[in-house]
Structures are given as structure tokens and as C-alpha cells.
Amino acid sequence: MNEIGKNLKRIRLLNNLSLKDVGNLLHMSATAIAKYEKGEINPNSQKLIEFANAYNVKVIDFLKSYNPPAMKFTSFRKRKRLTGQNLQLLEEIIQNEVANYLEVIEINNSIKYNNYNIINIYNCNSLQDAETAARKFRNDINISIIQPISDLISTLENLGILIIQIENPNNRFDDFDGLSEFVNNIPVIVLLNGLKDGARQRFTIAHELGHLVLNIKNNNLDEEKLCNRFASSLLMSKESVINEFGISRKNISFYELMAFKKEYKVSFAATLYRLKDLNIISEYTYKNLSIHLNKMFGKKNEPVQIEPENSYQFKKIVHKLETDKIISLNKACEFLGVSVNEYNTENNNCGY
């Protein structure tokens, strides 16, 4: 299977189309479509235009070539429903996006990633170790123990951690939560783009960071719980929570939760769990408050929506390389998956 064939198949699957569906759209047999995808037939320019129109994509999307890096996919959080072809497709997309980013970094040799992407690793053999690791992480990157992290993505990108947000066409990858891994010794965090719940997005990023920085030696420990504790402590340090709520409480007002959510950009659910973990509220109070809030708003409809964060680092580097004439306009468009007109429009909208 050649690169064009791989791209034809991947884009077809992303559009939830069978070989027969595409055959009907293009007035061809399913067998002929399969031969194009296997590389047994090379499509000419006219045929590529027909495929592009059928899939509502650009011809350039079929011409991209990738050098996918070896990835382990060990810290890959997903629900059990994500299996088979969908899982294989997602892994391929992730590898392609990582390959794109690594290529851009290699071209942009003015950014010395190897000099500043060294993040500290913390031994972790208990929930308390995970708590301590988050505290040490804040200290290592010079963020006050009581300071809210207003933009988590930018904070981590400034450390040399690659944040990759992949698209979710037709909600195909809704069962994917996140992934983190060192690829070519560079720390990478992958999550879905277009998440509406910024609080959940930030907790996911912090959780994936836990997978990168926690060295868990005891195989009997639940790594997911340790990473959850790390994330909780990172976003809501013990000192900041006590400062906001006090040492011990029998009840918490809705207004307090709302104000804390706005300032620290965490969900009500995560805040209540944190209060319970720190023994500020009892298990009984935690359950009662959780039940009350669920009755009021439902589990997934908390009031006070937090805007999701976005990564601009990859796009910023590509624009820099094109502006400095290190890469061509066409190459920049290929990296970003946009047309020349879209690229120029984005530049023009910046007001210069």
C-alpha cells in the first residue's frame, strides 16, 4: 500500500464510508476502490479531485507522506468500546500527527528542544508520593504552591512538552480520553480537539502529565489513581484548597464551589473529591453534596462552563518557518492541512 492508498483508506474510514458507499458516489465498483487503496492502481489528478469531492477534503490530503515514529501506546486511556478498526485508525492518526510535529521541530533547529525538554521524574509508591510529586513539579517550574495555573497547555509547552490536539470527525473517537508518551525522548501529550468542557480537558492534561513524570515501581499500585491524585494536587494544591475552604467543613455552599471553579478551572466533582481526599469534608458530606449537585444539574451539565484551552505552538512554528522562507508556502499548508487561501486568510486576519 503506497502513501496515497493509505491516505485514501484513512480518509474514507474517517467519513464512515464503506468501499461500496464510495463506489456508488464515484460510479465505480468497490473492488476498484480497494485497488486504489492498496496501491494497485495509481489515481491520476482527475481521479484525486473526484475522491476529494466525495470525501469533502483537499487533494493535498491524499498526497501527504508521513514517517511515523515508533510508539508504545502504553499510557493510552480509552473506554472499552474503542476497539478494532476505530482503534487502529486512531493510533495511525496519532502517529501521523506526532510525525508532523517532530518533522517541524527538526526543521526548526533554532528551538533547542534537547536543551530544555528535560522534565524531572519523581519516584511514586503511594498516593502521598503522587501528592508530593505535584508539589515538587510546581516548585521545579517556579509556580507558587497557591497560584492557580491559568493556562496549563502554555505552561507545559514552555517546558518543551508537545501538546497535540487531534480532530474527532463524526465523534468517532469520543471514547478516547488521552495519551502520553516519550517519543524520541520528547514528552508528548495527545488529546481530542474541540472538547467543550475545559475543566475536564485540563484535568485530562494534568493526568497525562502524571503518566510522564511519575516513576511507579510497585506494579500492584493503580497507576490511574496515582495520576488522578497527581492531577488533582497539581491543579488544586493542598495549601490553596485550605486557603479557600478552611481546614474542616460540615457543608460547602454552591457559591464557594462556583467561585473556586472560575478561579482554578476545575469541575465541581473534582473539587468535592479533592475536599474529601484532604479530609476537609467527610465521606458523608461528600456523598450528600455530590447527590445534591447531580440532582440540580446532572453529572455532565455543571453550571459555569470553563473555556477549553488551545495549543498554538505547532501552528506558530510552521508560520515562523514559512515567514522566514525556511519552508515553502505549500509545505506550510501541508503541515497545517489547509489551503493556500485559508493560510493567507489566517495571516491577514492577524491585522498586518
Look at residues 184, 213, 242 and tell me which one is the last residue of a structural domain: 242
Give residue 196's pLDDT. 85
Whether residue 91 sits in one domain with residue 57: no
Give residue 245's pLDDT. 98
The answer as to whether 292 is a domain residue is no
Give residue 115's pLDDT. 47
What is the pTM for the complete model shown? Answer: 0.88
DSSP helix/strand/coil, 98: helix
Count of residues making up the chain = 352
The structural domain count of the chain equals 3
Sequence-ordered alpha helix ranges (H) in the chain: 3-14, 19-26, 30-38, 45-55, 60-63, 84-107, 113-116, 127-140, 152-157, 198-213, 223-235, 238-245, 254-264, 268-277, 283-297, 313-323, 329-336, 340-348
Whether residue 147 sits in one domain with residue 43: no
The answer as to whether 285 is a domain residue is no
Whether residue 152 sits in one domain with residue 18: no
Whether residue 132 sits in one domain with residue 176: yes
Whether residue 99 sits in one domain with residue 52: no
Amino acid at 298: G
The answer as to whether 37 is a domain residue is yes
The answer as to whether 261 is a domain residue is no
Give residue 352's pLDDT. 39
Whether residue 92 sits in one domain with residue 51: no
Q: CATH number for the domain including 16?
A: 1.10.260.40
Whether residue 122 sits in one domain with residue 40: no
Whether residue 107 sits in one domain with residue 47: no
C-alpha pair distances (Å), 327 with each of 112, 133, 352: 18, 41, 21
Whether residue 79 sits in one domain with residue 43: no
Whether residue 110 sits in one domain with residue 44: no
What residues make up the domain containing 328?
Answer: 313-348
Instruction: Give backbone dihedrals phi and psi of 163, rounded to 5 degrees, phi first.
Output: -105, 120
In sequence order, which residues have a C-beta less than 8 Å from that of residue 115 and are 6 or more positions away?
A: none
352 residues of the chain, pLDDT tens digit each: 588 999 999 899 888 889 999 999 999 999 999 999 999 999 999 999 999 999 988 888 898 888 889 999 988 888 888 888 888 899 999 999 999 999 999 898 755 554 455 789 999 999 999 999 999 999 999 999 999 999 999 999 999 999 999 998 888 898 999 999 999 889 999 999 988 899 999 999 999 999 999 999 888 899 999 999 999 999 999 999 999 999 999 999 999 999 999 999 999 999 999 999 999 999 999 999 999 999 888 877 888 899 999 999 999 999 999 999 999 999 999 899 888 888 988 777 654 3
Whether residue 86 sits in one domain with residue 28: no
